[in-house]
Amino acid sequence: MANRLDPDMPAKILVVDDDHLQNNQMVSLLLENGASVVDTAFDGATGWELCLSREYDFLIIDWKLPLLSGLALFNRIRGVDRLMGLPILVVSGLVQRMDFRLLQEFPCTRLLEKPFTHAAFIRETVKLRSEAIWYAKNTEKIDEIMATVSADPDGASKLLRRLAAASPNPQPVVLLAARKMREAEHIEQAIVLLKEILELDRGCVPAISELGRCLHLLGRYDEALQFLRRADSLSPANVERLSLMGEVELNNTDASAATSRFNEALKIDKENRRARQGLRVAGTLSEMMHRPAGMHIKDTFASLMNTMAVNLAHSGEYSSAVAKYEESFHFIAGKDASARVAFNVGLAYLRWGKTRESYDWFVESAKRGKGKFTKAESYVEKLKFQMKAAADAAAAAKAAASAAKSAADAAAVAAEEEKRKAAEAAKKTDAGPAPQHEQPK
């Protein structure tokens, strides 16, 4: 184990490069300059498994990797919340200009083109690690401010702006703040922050993309697509954004466009779960759109999926109905629409006779409805009472069965004891009277 020579040198590092000589050279340099542990992988798939199973301070990847490309690996890592701030140094001479724009979208990411000097490699590693430390500290500060957002959203926005103004690099701080606002469902405040970024930098791809996501959640699908297409033209190959575009197309009831977007994502990473699931939902949407013209169909994706699932449920095909509901649920934008779909999933489960699953979906519906969808709340209370009554009855039945068993066991023991005594008495009778001895005269 090497001594820590530089306080900013990462301690635990993963190097993913299929060039064994280059891989070994980087490992030696990192250990010589103070890294504590350096793991290696020679293909993207192994690198991905290590990222999921172990904790690292720093990641170094080549762009051209077997089994899973560097592009696909990068997209996967940046799609996991806990890995969002993991510093990634891409070392490659094969990164295209558009791919480089993708790297610029994310914090704590740098490109070091091959060939590079040993000094440049160590310098970029240390600089990127320092940036990651700064980013983590600002994330903690933003989280502290966000804890007050429900009580005072405007006040929280002012504090976030003040924090950004005091930062050496304000843009990523404002972007992170906008993302946190959106996750807290304060969409309008998030949009204001994003527009402030775009006033200063009209080509800021992360802000354009995040703005598209916010508009999608507000149900403004055409506007959302305009921003997402613009971001995609500036920086293609972002799997998460391609899948999001597919989701917006679903909500716009354009099955063909959604299919194209999900297929684009799968070309980069054929195992991407979101894109694969989206492709199936697009197929269901296409099927629904081609149903006989006499069927009553509303114009929203949520309504279409509801119509299909309701028809299946009414036909008694509960398994298929639930599958359609659950498949489409996560692609429906807007809390109100998803609350209604969650309610219908609960209803389908209830008719199917699956009370526990039904209860869970009614709880989800009530949570998303936030007091507006009282029908779900009434079902939650009703099923909670029924499940408690059923549990009490089951407990009473169990106790009664246990008592009956104890009584039966006791009776069996008593009967066995009587049987034993009877057997002993029978033995004595069979033996006859005890011999009598005369006393001597």
Checking if the pLDDT of 15 tops 90, the result is yes
- Residue 245's pLDDT is what? 95
Residue 138 contacts residue 167 (beta carbons within 8 Å): yes
Does residue 5 have a pLDDT over 70? no
At residue 429, the 3 state secondary structure works out as helix
pLDDT in tens, 356-415: 888 888 888 888 887 776 788 888 888 888 888 888 888 888 888 888 888 888 888 888
What SS3 state is found at 332? coil
Region 152-160: mean pLDDT is: 82
Reported as a single tens digit per residue, the pLDDT across 122-144 is 999 998 998 888 888 888 888 88
Superfamily for the 296-402 domain: Tetratricopeptide repeat domain (1.25.40.10)
Q: What was the pLDDT predicted at 294?
A: 38
The SS3 call for residue 109 is strand
**For all residues of the chain together, what is the average pLDDT?**
82
**Residue 347 pLDDT > 50, yes or no?**
yes
Tell me the average pLDDT across 182-191: 87
Arithmetic mean of pLDDT, 138-159: 82
For 134, other C-beta atoms within 10 Å of its C-beta total 17
Separation of alpha carbons 69 and 272, rounded Å: 13
CATH superfamily of the domain spanning 12-137? Response regulator (3.40.50.2300)
The domain limits of the chain are 12-137, 147-237, 238-290, 296-402
- pLDDT tens, position by position, 251-310: 888 889 999 999 999 999 998 888 988 888 888 778 766 665 434 444 566 666 666 666
Q: Which residues contact 318 (CB under 8 A, 6 or more apart)?
A: 312, 348, 349, 351, 352
Q: Is the pLDDT of residue 14 over 70?
A: yes
Q: Does the pLDDT at position 148 exceed 80?
A: yes
Contact between 176 and 142 (Cβ < 8 Å): yes
Query: Does residue 44 register a pLDDT over 50?
Result: yes
Mean pLDDT of all residues in 206-211: 92
Average pLDDT over residues 301-326: 69
Quickly tell me which residue has 């320092």 as its tokens. 130
Tell which residue, 342, 400, 327, has the closest CA to residue 376: 342
Where is average pLDDT lowest: 181-190, 375-384, 412-421? 412-421
What are the pLDDT digits (tens) for 49-96? 999 999 999 999 998 899 998 889 998 998 888 888 899 999 887 666
Where on the phi/psi map is residue 153: left (φ > 0), alpha (ψ -120 to 50), or beta?
A: alpha
DSSP string across 81-105: GGGTT--EEEE-S---HHHHHHHHT
Give the number of other CB atoms < 10 A from CB of residue 190: 24
Q: In the predicted model, what is the mean pLDDT of residues 159-187?
A: 81
Give the residue from 166, 222, 223, 168 showing the smallest Cα distance to 191: 223
Which range, of 27-36, 39-48, 129-138, 325-334, averages the lowest pLDDT?
325-334
User: Is domain 147-237 given the CATH code 1.25.40.10 in the classification?
Assistant: yes
Mean pLDDT of 38-58: 93
Same fold, 12-137 and 296-402: no
Q: Check residues 288 and 423 and name the one with the higher pLDDT.
A: 423
- Give the per-residue pLDDT at 169: 67
